[in-house]
Chains A and B, each alone.
Chain A
């Protein structure tokens, strides 16, 4: 095996650049194909997303999780000038945290595209192209270490998602997609101002004009940045708001149910599976390490909001009649728990949060996928329109039950690991938070079990369901990798925990310094 410090070149480009832009290359290729060439479109989709996934696994294999601190980025670092006069660099790098999310992204995109071949999707070419461009934006956001570059990729994600919801969505799709864009943009524009301001202060304090996290984070921990307390607080909130809108944390969550319900199935899977995680990723990568003092000061406030989110999301989910809306609100609840874990500030809780980011991506992605299978056949998501369909769709039912139990947090499945670690860590930080959060989890079990019971078990009340066909080959091929991972990572979560341990410890250590000026 090659030494991990050897730079990997592929067709003259470094591996991270290839990883980021390979999907977009596929999207460009699609433009050359005629709209009707269904098989060619499928081939390009498979090739582009499959190669990207394979490449991300290659990076995973080359990555050395033993390196601690910011040095972890070093072996695969790509550092080129982009706009040199303003110190803006094309700076890409991965650590355990970003890498596990990159692999989740490439896997889910591949699964979504494969799954979509089994569904009737008009204008397939545009659909596939949008997902591939979106993939570039997602991977780019995860590997960018220059704040401006990160912002660029962050906004690049916005446009394809806007089209995915707006063109392939349901009846209220335009309302939903505009709400999604405006909410996200409101947060990210504030972050943009904060980035510019932060670099200005950094340049005045240190004489170095840079947007690089690898210089900002040490400057923040050593105090060389010399931000006043109020500046730190404002900057923290500008960043945190952008990320908390994306998560979304109560009370910033209102765009999410609309977007999820109106989005096509693939859009919902990516939205829940990856985009929401980018919010929590941003907290761990930017908001907390850059402004640890302010993060510590506002932890109680954010924890309270997260606790409200955990219970509120679960409570509202329990009242839903629409399956997709139910899963959407369950996301609000689950992600609030992740935020709570992140702000608990110890290694156990943050590891659990990262684990749960992966776990939620898989289980909730699966739930959306399986709801999409039913919707494709019956064109309804009302629970009342189903009932006792288990005998008609045994495979779908089995998959749904596994995903549901994973989401509930059944030991042996992947959701359990994350939730357990979060609760154990939160318990160390604050007993009351843990107690309160646990009630949300119990509620979660109730509504998800009720959903399964109403849809799949019991007598078959609706005649139209008698002819319901089971999940088809493509759809199953899209779901299987996710199901396998839910089980495997439930039984054997250690590889993921090993991978992210050093990143998590770095964040926790930076946060615990708490440089309150």
Chain B
């Protein structure tokens, strides 16, 4: 092992995008402090930073920092998801925050830092790097949850998210400690070697360790029964931040779960892991969808819908083979475009970030704001999984993998969940187009940036639904670079 502080150019380039995002974030905070007049240009600076970071993302596959970091097609795929999520949240969110004059540089910086954290988390081959990445991602989001600190719901959301998130982090550390205690390393590759030669995976201490790590990740993914923070946080957090929170971090946590499971259970999922993940999937799908039916606040509804959607991902986790991983990645990418679209449109069709987002407020918006209403409609159809949207492609792949692996029950539960979900997703659609408005809602006109965001997400939802090959090829390459 080379010297501890010996950092090569290859090491730097492996974390180039993260480093650059952090620097841009710091620059934005400083600019906000010393050159407030530049505030209108912050979205452009952020987007420019994301573009450069994306350019820096062309690093080669391999290990860096003496094996603490492992880069691959998969990490590039997650980079792409994270950058897309921040870019879209910035494009569509600037106007929402500017309405209340709360578009300070920090609002962009925190998103960038959070993205950097989740990208680092996925690259970590050392579980401690994973932990650091997860913390960077989460702490930025805790702060964003309290962005409107004068609003009671926002403070509540931040407190709840922080306390429960801290507990989840503790679980992760506990799990890492137990794994280290048993196998003497925190490196996934080293663990894999130790397991291959050693007594294998029946060891109870290892099992408890893995359980703790999975619980922490399930918390970030918001799977039942680790979901209880989601509705309150979604409701209290600013809409652009939720658009990010509900997509990219969940995707990253899912990928880390796949990596950890693949390392500690190299010969495929056996007892008790497959039944356990199946249970998480079934509970999330049934609970999320049924409770979402009863919601009258759009953001809370989308929170429960997100729980159910991650239940479909958990079907892929329980299936645990190459086809399922590919399906998961496609599903996550489609979900990202769709859910960001949904949140941006919900934000644009509301009275403002400080108020609730009742479903009744979007009544008649089909006529008043046809553009944003169409985006929201498309997002609802994609979340339902109706073709020809990208939501259909994701479900097609995940369900196909599950059925091929003989997990028919899971697929049927998923299908049943989809049917229930049509009930509340389509309720949004008819409220938009078929109901008369009950009260005056501010819902400002789109500016250029949010218009661009709407077009991007709509094209993504439709184009990838009709011509999914681009996404499938990316996901295929990414899934292949998983070492199992």
Contact = CB atoms under 8 A, between A and B. Distances in A.
Contact of B386 (A85, A148, A158, A167): A158
Contacts of A177: 430
Contacts, number: 68
A121 to B, nearest CB: 15
A163 interface: yes
Nearest to B420: A182
Contacts of A196: 396, 399-400, 403-404, 411
B476 interface: yes
Interface stretch (A12-20, A96-104, A183-191): A183-191
Contacts of A163: 433
A315 interface: no
Interface stretch (A109-117, A149-157, A267-275, A471-479): A149-157
Contacts of A301: none
Contact of A193 (B388, B404, B411): B411
A177 B434 CA distance: 11
Interface string A325-350: 00000000000000000000000000
B418 A189 contact: yes
B419 interface: yes
Given A86-B400, A152-B387, A197-B403, A178 B419 contact: no
Contact of A186 (B386, B412, B419): B419
A174 B434 CA distance: 8
Contact of A162 (B387, B397, B426): B426
B388 A156 contact: yes
A200 B468 contact: no
B53 interface: no
Contact of A173 (B434, B468, B472): B434
Contacts of A190: 415
A183 B422 CA distance: 11
Interface of B is mostly: helix
A185 B400 contact: no
Contacts of A181: 422, 426
Contacts of A86: 397, 400
B469 interface: yes
A193 B412 contact: yes
B388 A152 contact: yes
A411 to B, nearest CB: 44
B113 interface: no
A174 B429 CA distance: 11
B432 to A, nearest CB: 11
A192 B414 CA distance: 12
B419 A182 contact: yes
B66 interface: no
Interface residues of A, number: 30
Interface in A198-215: 200
A83 interface: yes
Given A182-B422, A185-B422, A167 B415 contact: no
B403 A200 contact: yes
Nearest to B427: A178
A166 interface: yes
Interface string B377-391: 000010000111000
Contacts of B415: 189-190, 192-193
Contacts of A174: 430, 434-435
Please indicate which of the listed interface residues B381, B423, B430 has the most CB atoms of chain A within 10 Å of its own CB. B430
A29 interface: no
A304 B423 CA distance: 33
A466 interface: no
A174 B403 CA distance: 35
Contacts of B434: 166-167, 173-174
A159 interface: yes
B392 A152 contact: yes
Contacts of A158: 386
Nearest to B405: A200
Nearest to B402: A196
A156 B476 contact: no
B7 interface: no
Nearest to A169: B434
Contacts of B396: 148, 196
B419 A83 contact: no
A185 B472 CA distance: 26
B380 to A, nearest CB: 10
Please indicate which of the listed interface residues B386, B408, B468, B476 has the most CB atoms of chain A within 10 Å of its own CB. B386
A85 B476 contact: yes
Please indicate which of the listed interface residues B387, B396, B397 has the most CB atoms of chain A within 10 Å of its own CB. B387
Contacts of B433: 163, 166-167
Contacts of B423: 178, 182
A178 B423 CA distance: 8
Contacts of A148: 396
A178 B426 contact: yes
Interface string B426-461: 100110011100000000000000000000000000
A174 B426 CA distance: 10
Contact of A178 (B388, B403, B430): B430
Interface string A134-153: 00000000000000100110
A152 B392 CA distance: 9
Nearest to A186: B419
Nearest to B387: A152
Nearest to B417: A189
B381 A159 contact: yes
A159 B429 CA distance: 10
A277 B415 CA distance: 25
Contacts of B412: 193
Nearest to B367: A123
A82 B422 CA distance: 27
A327 to B, nearest CB: 25
A262 B21 CA distance: 55
A496 B470 CA distance: 44
Contacts of A156: 387-388
Given A196-B403, A197-B403, A200-B404, A151 B387 contact: yes
A431 B411 CA distance: 43
Contacts of A84: 469
Contacts of A167: 433-434
A85 B472 contact: yes
A204 to B, nearest CB: 9
Interface string A478-507: 000000000000000000000000000000
Interface string B26-55: 000000000000000000000000000000
A178 B381 CA distance: 14
A412 to B, nearest CB: 44
A155 B386 contact: yes
Interface string A60-93: 0000000000000000000000011110000000
A173 B418 CA distance: 23
B374 to A, nearest CB: 10
Contacts of B403: 193, 196-197, 200
B125 to A, nearest CB: 29
Contacts of A173: 434
Interface in A364-406: none
A266 to B, nearest CB: 17
Given A156-B387, A185-B419, A83 B411 contact: no
17 contacts: A83-B472, A86-B400, A152-B388, A152-B392, A162-B426, A166-B433, A166-B434, A174-B434, A177-B430, A178-B423, A182-B423, A185-B419, A185-B422, A189-B415, A193-B411, A197-B403, A200-B404
Q: A-B pairs with the 8 shortest C-beta distances?
A: A152-B387, A189-B415, A166-B434, A196-B403, A200-B404, A196-B400, A155-B387, A155-B386
Interface of A: 83-86, 148, 151-152, 155-156, 158-159, 162-163, 166-167, 173-174, 177-178, 181-182, 185-186, 189-190, 192-193, 196-197, 200
Given A167-B433, A192-B415, 20 more contacts: A83-B469, A83-B472, A84-B469, A85-B472, A86-B397, A156-B387, A166-B430, A173-B434, A174-B434, A174-B435, A178-B423, A178-B426, A182-B419, A182-B423, A189-B415, A189-B418, A189-B419, A193-B415, A196-B396, A200-B403
